Amino acid sequence: MVKVRIGAVVAEFNYDITHMMLELAKEHAKFLESEITEVITVPGVFDMPLAIKKLLEQDDIDAVVTLGAVIEGATSHDEIVVQHASRKIADLALEYDKPVGLGITGPGMTRLEAHQRVEYAKRAVEAVVKMTERLK
């Protein structure tokens, strides 16, 4: 039996990185006797809240993980994206009483650092599984 049914919202931006994150998240969910049962891809991290909301509304989803990599550019755009997205993601978890794991790396990181941080996906899965079990 699956302990926790997880929805995943994955950014297409930097997909070479976020795709690896998704595969790691799926493996780790299985290791924790849970499962990523639905995946929604969105253009970027800023676009995640609406997809998260759609998943949280479903009775067959216990928790959601967000997977994205926000790489530093020439401006402070990366900081603004992560700040606003993470705030809204936290608000949605509170609104729907379901855990939402923040598997978004950045801001202020290089592409190399993003590759080195794909493991953050596992942390997000671990967090939502623990939170779901502890809040039952």
Annotated binding site: 13, 45-47, 69-71, 74-75, 102, 111
pTM here? 0.96
Look at residue 57 in the predicted model and tell me its pLDDT: 98
Annotated binding site for 5-amino-6-(D-ribitylamino)uracil: 13, 45-47, 69-71, 102
> Which positions are annotated as active-site residues?
77
Write the CB contacts of 37 (distance below 8 Å, at least 6 apart in sequence).
2, 5, 6, 7, 60, 61
Place of tokens 């049914």: 5
> Given a cut of 90, is residue 101 above it in pLDDT?
yes
Helix, strand, coil fractions of the chain, as percent rounded to 5: 50, 25, 25
Look at residue 75 in the predicted model and tell me its pLDDT: 84
Q: Tell me the mean pLDDT in the region 123-136.
A: 97
Q: Render pLDDT for 42-96 as a digit per residue (tens, 0 to 9).
A: 999 999 999 999 999 999 999 999 999 999 988 888 899 999 999 999 999 999 9
Q: Render pLDDT for 9-24 as a digit per residue (tens, 0 to 9).
A: 999 999 999 999 999 9
Q: Architecture of domain 2-133 in CATH?
A: 3-Layer(aba) Sandwich (3.40)
Sign of CA dihedral 55, 5, 60, 15: positive
Confidence at 29, pLDDT banded by 50, 70, 90: very high
Q: Count CA within 13 A, CB hemisphere, residue 134.
A: 7
Look at residue 73 in the predicted model and tell me its pLDDT: 83
